[in-house]
Amino acid sequence: MKRLTLPQWAAFADIVGTVAVVVSLLFLAYTIEQNTAVMQSANDNFLYELDDRQQADVVLTEDLAAILLKRNKGEELSGIDELRIRRQGIRQLSAWELAFDRHEEGLLSKEKWNSWNRSFSINVRDDIPEEWWAESRKHYGTEFAEHVDAVYEDN
């Protein structure tokens, strides 16, 4: 059997090193993909929890449900009732902005974003009069505010 020369050993080591780098990069890509999927799932779960808490406030708190019912019937709200309903709307807007930001950061999948966005678009238009949005708009990021503006314009 012929012995390898030093340059042949070096060439062999280069090949082995190159293969090791490629395998490491493939593993890194797989790990990043897995981590992204976990982060997207965690963000989606968090949004479900926020939404569930807001729904529970209406279901489990009779006075908030009564305020919503009065507003939906077009009845006049007391100052306290109006404040409570506006704060409820701010909670919805804040959750929507969170979903918007996470989607923009790549931490909420396109499919989940489309679903959440459709839901928020319908609920916010129904629950928050446009003049309330105009008053609150300055408290939100520019891109999100423009996104919400477009939803109201489509109405």
Range of the domain at 118: 44-154
63 occurs within a structural domain = yes
Question: Which has the closest alpha carbon to 152: 136, 139, 73?
Answer: 136
In a domain, 84, yes or no: yes
In this predicted structure, what is the pLDDT of residue 155? 65
Which tens digit of pLDDT belongs to each residue from 130-146?
999 999 999 999 999 99
Q: What Rg do the C-alpha atoms of the chain give, in angstroms? A: 26
pLDDT in tens, 81-100: 999 989 889 999 999 999 99
Res 116: pLDDT: 92
Query: Does residue 139 sit within a domain?
Result: yes
pLDDT digits (tens, 9 = 90+) for 10-53: 888 899 999 999 989 988 888 888 887 788 788 788 888 888 88
Three-state SS letters, the chain: CCCCCHHHHHHHHHHHHHHHHHHHHHHHHHHHHHHHHHHHHHHHHHHHHHHHHHHHHHHHCHHHHHHHHHHHCCCCCCHHHHHHHHHHHHHHHHHHHHHHHHHHCCCCCHHHHHHHHHHHHHHHHHHCCHHHHHHHHHHCCHHHHHHHHHHHHHC
Mean per-residue pLDDT for 65-73? 89
Give the position of tokens 């009069």.
129
Whether residue 8 has pLDDT greater than 90:
no
- pLDDT in the model for residue 149: 95
Tell me, yes or no, whether 107 lies in a domain.
Answer: yes
Per-residue buried b or exposed e for 51-69, using 16+ beta carbons within 10 Å of the residue's own CB: beebeeeeeeeeebeebbe
pLDDT value at position 104? Answer: 93
pLDDT at position 134, please? 93
Query: Which residue has better confidence, 76 or 47?
Result: 76
Residue 21 inside a domain? The answer is no
Residue 1's pLDDT band, with cuts at 50, 70 and 90, is low
Compute the CA torsion angle 90, 118, 71, 63 (nearest 10 deg): -60
pLDDT at residue 150, as a whole number: 94
Is pLDDT above 70 for 76? yes
Residue 148 in domain? yes
Q: Domain count for the chain, please give it.
A: 1
1 assigned to some structural domain: no
140 in any annotated domain: yes
Q: pTM value?
A: 0.72
